[in-house]
C-alpha cells in the first residue's frame, strides 16, 4: 500500500526496553514509533490521529525529560494547574 511522502517527515518516538533486548525482540531493545504506525493502528489518518501522536510524543518528552523512554523504569510526571 502506498502512503503519502509527508508521513516520513513526522517526528519519530524513540523508546528503549532492556527486557526486549534480552529477549531479542528488538536490536538493542530500541523501538522507533513512526506516524505511519499510528495510522495503521487507527486505520486512517486524520487531524485527531496526528494530534494524538504529537501529544503522546510531547508527553513522553516532558515526563522523561527528553531522554529515550525506558520501559519498566520508575518515572514521575506532574501536571500543573492554575497560574
Q: Answer yes or no: is 16 within a domain.
A: yes
3-class DSSP state of 29: helix
Give the Cβ contact number of residue 53 at 10 Å. 22
Q: What is the 3-state secondary structure (H, E, C) of 1-38?
A: CCCCHHHHHCCCEEEECHHHHHHCCCHHHEEEECHHHH
Q: What cell does 75 get?
A: 518515572
Q: How many domains does the chain have?
A: 1
Q: Quick one: pLDDT at residue 67?
A: 55
**Is 33:13 a contact under the CB 8 Å cutoff?**
yes
**Is 70:16 a contact under the CB 8 Å cutoff?**
yes
Q: Answer yes or no: is 66 within a domain.
A: yes
What is the residue range of 66's domain?
10-70
List the alpha helices (DSSP H) in the chain.
18-23, 35-42, 47-63
Residue 49 has pLDDT above 70, yes or no: yes
Average pLDDT over residues 54-76: 67
Q: Answer yes or no: is 78 within a domain.
A: no
Range ranked top by mean pLDDT from 8-12, 27-31, 70-74: 8-12
Average pLDDT over residues 22-45: 90
The answer, as to whether pTM is greater than 0.85, is: no
Q: What is the pLDDT of residues 6-16, one digit of tens each?
A: 898 999 988 87
Q: Answer yes or no: is 83 within a domain.
A: no
Q: Answer yes or no: is 5 within a domain.
A: no
Amino acid at each position: 500500500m502506498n502512503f503519502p511522502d509527508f508521513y516520513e517527515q513526522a517526528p519519530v518516538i524513540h523508546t528503549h526496553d532492556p527486557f526486549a533486548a534480552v529477549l531479542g525482540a528488538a536490536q538493542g531493545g530500541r523501538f522507533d514509533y513512526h506516524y505511519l504506525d499510528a495510522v495503521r493502528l487507527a486505520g486512517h489518518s486524520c487531524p485527531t490521529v496526528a494530534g494524538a501522536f504529537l501529544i503522546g510524543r510531547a508527553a513522553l518528552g516532558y515526563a522523561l525529560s527528553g531522554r529515550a523512554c525506558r520501559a519498566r523504569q520508575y518515572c514521575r510526571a506532574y501536571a500543573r494547574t492554575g497560574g
